[in-house]
Amino acid sequence: MDHPQGISDTIPNPSVRRLSAYLRHLENLAACGATRVSSKQLAEYIKGGDAQVRRDLALFGQFGRRGVGYEVQDLIQVIRTILGTRVQWNVVVVGAGQLCQALLRYRGFQDRGFTLVGAFDTDPRKIGTQCGPVTIRHIDAMAEVIRKNEVRLAILTVPVQAVQHTAEKLVAAGIEGIMNFASASLDVPPHVHVNQVDLTAHLEQLSYQVSNPQTP
């Protein structure tokens, strides 16, 4: 389906990823009291070209002013609308290790549209522990928490052996998006989206880049 104006309803994946980056910079600018921003400034933030930025933003409408730039607050709202984070998302964390604790205590999620409403584990020693704003509960209580809080997103920080099995529980409970920190590919139904976060891979990319200096 085509939109009346030249607005595509299918946004290229690289653009969607960059939208998050723009949003981070806009948040920083807003915190500093800036009201306007140019494609040039946003381009510097993502270390890309200004044409790239304008293309990305033009994908879903025209709200820059020629000769002037973009309104910071407007752009924040527009990007949050695209990303779906003008509404608050409830999120659960499964696997109550150190990483889970770090995530639960991290302040940034809340302001950006994500509320961590529960954390689960099977280890009896962890259950009952208070961790930031939530208490660790047994994984058997998970489905109920997900249903009652209309949770659609989950963060998986369980060990690699447990990850597929846990993902299945999440899917059965109605979860539609999973951020997975374990190094295993999840087998889930097509309507469930998985986002793999591999911290080792990030170090490996650096190792590659540092070992191959010609790489730009």
Partner DNA sequence: GTATGTGAAGTTATTCACAGCG
Partner DNA sequence: CGCTGTGAATAACTTCACATAC
Tokens 């509320």 map to which residue? 115
Q: What is the DSSP letter of 151?
A: -
**Interacting residues of 123 by C-beta distance below 8 A, sequence separation 6+:** 96
6: how many CB neighbours lie within 10 A of its CB? 10
Alpha-carbon gap, residue 139 to 185, rounded angstroms? 21
Binding of residue 8 to DNA (CB under 7 A): no
- Token pair of 5, please? 């104006």
Contacts of a copy of itself in 99-128 (CB under 8 A): 99, 101-103, 105-106, 108-109, 112-114
Question: Which span (59-67, 120-128, 141-149, 185-193) binds a copy of itself, by CB under 8 A?
Answer: 185-193
Tokens 């920080």 map to which residue? 157
Give the distance, in angstroms, between the CA of residue 107 and the centroid of all CA atoms in the same chain. Answer: 14
Q: From residue 11 to residue 30, what is the string marking binding to DNA with x (rule CB under 7 A)?
A: -xxxx---------------
63 contact choice in a copy of itself, DNA, none (CB below 5 to 8 Å, kind-dependent): DNA
Min CB(66)–a copy of itself separation in Å: 26
Q: What is the DSSP letter of 185?
A: -
Binding of residue 8 to a copy of itself (CB under 8 A): no
Query: Given the complex with DNA, which of 25 and 169 has the nearer CB atom?
Result: 25
Tell me if 88 sits within 8 A of 151, measured CB to CB.
no
Query: Given the complex with DNA, which of 48 and 177 has the nearer CB atom?
Result: 48
Among 30, 58, 82, 162, binds a copy of itself (CB under 8 A): 82
Sheet holding 134-138, edge to edge: 130-131, 134-138, 114-121, 89-94, 153-156, 177-180, 193-196
Contacts of DNA in 29-68 (CB under 7 A): 38-40, 48-52, 54-55, 57-58, 62-68
19 contact choice in DNA, a copy of itself, none (CB below 5 to 8 Å, kind-dependent): a copy of itself
Query: Given the complex with DNA, which of 12 and 159 has the nearer CB atom?
Result: 12
Site residues, DNA (CB under 7 A)? 5-6, 12-15, 38-40, 48-52, 54-55, 57-58, 62-70
